[in-house]
Amino acid sequence: MLAWTTLSLALSFRLVLAQIREEHGPPVSSPQGDLLFLLDSSASVSHYEFSRVREFLGHLVAPLPLDPGALQASLVHVGSQPYTEFRFDQHSSSAMVQDAIRAATQRMGDTNTGLALSYAKEQLFDTATGARVGVPKVLVWVTDGSSSDPVGPPMQELKDLGVTVFIISTGHGNFLELSEAASAPPEKHLHFVDVDDLHIIAQELRGSILDAMQPQQQLRATEVTSSGFRLAWPPLLTANSGYYVLELTTSAKPGVMHRQQLPGNTTGWAWTGLEPDTDYDVALVPESNERLLGPQHLQVRTLPGEVGPRPRTEGWGLREEAGPERIVISHCKPRSLRVSWAPTLGPAAALGYHVLYGPLQGGAAQRVEVPAGHNSTLLQGLAPSTDYLVTVTAAFRSGRERSLSAKACTSPGGERSRAPLPPKAGARGP
């Protein structure tokens, strides 16, 4: 009797578990994905800087769950030609990956980062290198800020394929350009850090990487602007199992539908050239002969834009829309400093400026708006004895922006107090 009761309870327990799985779906998955490190190994990096970055990467991966069933890592060098130090399927534990990173040697040569990014895209989606289908893809690019070839187009291709991009700059790069290259928001995906202080960002960066490795369950929109937005979705198909159809409509233009067909291994797409302050309906339709997958729907509203049409700019030219030519840092105090620049004049004068500033050793960037006609601003709330990267951007009616960056440093805190003056002759003491 007792045996039958025990068996009955066990069966009931299994039925309850099955019902819970059916109602609530599978449990939350552990981090899983392919992590590619893109390391500047060119002659523009000193041997000391390379060794410090190599040490940082080893420290970064130490606690990660590197395993063929969880996270896989690969390392690619930036040089005259990209070079793979180790593939995704080459090392099956964090200890093995750490040993491989320590054994990496500098390749030297030119800094052809754009070429290396195109190569990295192939590695991230090539099963011959051990890359896996249907898992999140993360790129961590460590750079000294210089490149011999364009970075923007190949980086955009990576992000369009759903790759999450983290950038660590050792302080020589243009903040605005690197902000555009990193995944949004830049305060989470871009770090300016001195090479001797890389350990400061290790824990935060490691947590962000693990967050990016969590599988997403639905269609979502990011990087929303007045003229477009970026879409991302989980890997529902593979290159051989089907394709996606993206459909875009808006109530402002009934009966007009935009369609885009994408390969089955795509997990992202950017819509551009849209109207500001407008609601758009998006449908993601997976087409597959292997299994039935329902469409996913999303509504996105673009941000407000300029009031009225933009004026014609023929004849003005890029030369007249020149950004700040010189930045002057003055009045440096422990917690403040003044930034000044040569203003833009003439028919293509700037509509205004914005100043981005943040510590070189990592941390969130701050933004200050400066109206047209002014060419300086006081930055306050700073930390003593700290290096900051300051970027001044001029905005024009054409929609273009021109930027210039400079390094600034606050003075040390704890100013000495003046020594008391000796009492005047004949004066009485307290």
pLDDT tens track for 77-120:
999 999 999 999 999 899 999 999 999 999 999 989 999 999 99
Are residues 321 and 402 in contact, defined by beta-carbon separation less than 8 angstroms? yes
- Before 185, cis peptide (omega within 30)? yes
Rounded to a whole number of angstroms, the CA Rg of the chain reads 27
pTM over 0.75: no
How large is the average pLDDT for residues 295-303?
86
69 CB-near residues (< 8 Å, 6+ apart): 32
Are residues 109 and 79 in contact, defined by beta-carbon separation less than 8 angstroms? yes
Q: Which of 46-50, 216-220, 339-343 is predicted least confidently?
A: 216-220
Going 59 to 62 to 66 to 71, the CA torsion angle's sign is negative
Nearest-angstrom CA–CA distance, 97 and 92? 8
Q: Which residue has the higher pLDDT, 24 or 169?
A: 169
Q: Which of 4-8, 41-45, 145-149, 375-379 is predicted least confidently?
A: 4-8
Does pLDDT of 311 surpass 60?
A: no
Give the per-residue pLDDT at 171.
67
Give the per-residue pLDDT at 21.
37
Q: Which residue has the higher pLDDT, 72 or 320?
A: 72
